[in-house]
């Protein structure tokens, strides 16, 4: 109840409310009020972009690979080791409940797999909460902090997560306007300036690009979060 009703206990303390009464909608008084003045329910669904769908599929594939590795330990109930269960926070409690008595006997790889599943679930959650730049920055932080000990980073589908996340922020194009296929090249430096015709450095307005020695331009994509577009549409709908 504390987590399901937006931290009800915290809100009650802020409002100095001591008692909270919850009335189900099938209660007679409540149902009569709802029938007299039915509430307007608007169902708004936010579709994900193709790169977000690609990241989601890649994360699920990596989670499946980690679960397959955990099944090899023969110390966990195999029925609970499913991708569907791994998407919920209660999965940590299920795993820890089974592994706590023998936690000290487990190897480093098994313990790391439990931590990796928690990290992958965070990546799924942050995918719809963070903007494209913040999400890529978080991934780069994980690559630096967990590159040597983490198991999921070395999974077969993990490269798709980083590749799609980069494409949401920037893309490489040739000077003639054609897209560059293959993995993104790392461009050093944070300044995005190009030289104008007069030889002076002009700050690029709007979509900026950086010229490399190989005649390739780094063009900013900066994919907008789909929820903002739906929010603007819903605001116009409510104003009518």
Domain count of the fold of the chain: 2
Sign of CA dihedral 21, 27, 29, 35: positive
Coil/strand/helix, residue 217 = strand
| Residue at which a domain ends, from 116, 138, 168 | 168
Report CA-CA distances (Å) from 138 to 16, 98, 102, 154. 38, 31, 33, 17
Comparing 1-15, 171-185, 222-236, the range with the smallest average pLDDT is 171-185
Q: Is residue 180 part of a domain?
A: no
Task: Residue 82: give the domain boundaries.
Answer: 50-168
CATH number at residue 132: 1.20.1320
pLDDT digits (tens, 9 = 90+) for 175-190: 665 666 554 444 433 4
Looking at the structure, do residues 149 and 76 belong to the same domain, yes or no? yes
Q: 206: left (phi > 0), else alpha (psi -120 to 50), else beta?
A: left
Tell me the C-alpha distance between 139 and 33, whole Å.
49
CB 230 within 8 A of CB 46: yes
Distance CA 213, CA 181 (A): 17
240 domain residue, yes or no: no
- Sign, CA dihedral 54-58-59-64, equals positive
CA distance 113 to 160: 20
- Of the candidates 221, 208, 214, the one whose C-alpha atom is nearest the C-alpha of residue 174 is 214
Q: Does 129 or 236 have the greater pLDDT score?
A: 129
Question: 202 pLDDT band (50/70/90 cuts)?
Answer: very low
Per-residue model confidence as pLDDT tens digits over 143-172: 888 767 788 888 888 899 999 999 999 887
Burial 5-21 (b: 16+ CB within 10 A, else e): eeeeeeeeeeeeeeeee
Residue 26 shares a structural domain with residue 65: no
The separation between CA 105 and the C-alpha centre of its own chain, rounded to angstroms, equals 33
Same domain, 58 and 163: yes
The model carries a pTM of: 0.67
Residue 215 placed within a domain: no
Let me know if residue 173 belongs to a domain: no
Boundary of a domain, candidates 122, 150, 168: 168
């Amino acid at each position: 109840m504390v987590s399901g009703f937006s931290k009800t206990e915290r809100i009650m303390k802020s409002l100095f409310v001591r008692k909270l009464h919850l009335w189900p909608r099938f209660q007679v008084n409540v149902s009569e009020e709802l029938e007299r003045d039915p509430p307007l329910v608007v169902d708004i669904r936010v579709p994900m972009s193709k790169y977000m769908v690609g990241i989601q599929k890649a994360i699920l594939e990596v989670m499946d690979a980690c679960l397959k590795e955990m099944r090899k330990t023969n110390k966990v109930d195999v029925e609970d080791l499913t991708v569907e269960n791994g998407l919920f926070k209660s999965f940590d409690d299920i795993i820890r409940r089974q592994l706590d008595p023998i936690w000290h006997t487990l190897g480093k790889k098994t313990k790391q797999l439990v931590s990796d599943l928690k990290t992958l679930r965070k990546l799924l959650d942050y995918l719809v909460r963070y903007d494209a730049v913040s999400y890529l920055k978080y991934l780069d932080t994980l690559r630096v902090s967990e590159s040597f000990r983490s198991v999921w980073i070395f999974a077969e589908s993990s490269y798709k997560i980083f590749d799609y996340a980069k494409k949401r922020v920037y893309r490489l194009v040739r000077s003639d306007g054609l897209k560059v296929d293959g993995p993104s090249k790392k461009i050093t430096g944070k300044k995005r300036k190009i030289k104008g015709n007069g030889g002076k450095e002009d700050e690029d307005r709007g979509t900026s690009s950086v010229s490399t020695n190989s005649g390739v331009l780094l063009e900013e994509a900066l994919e907008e979060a789909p929820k903002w577009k739906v929010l603007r549409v819903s605001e116009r709908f409510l104003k009518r």
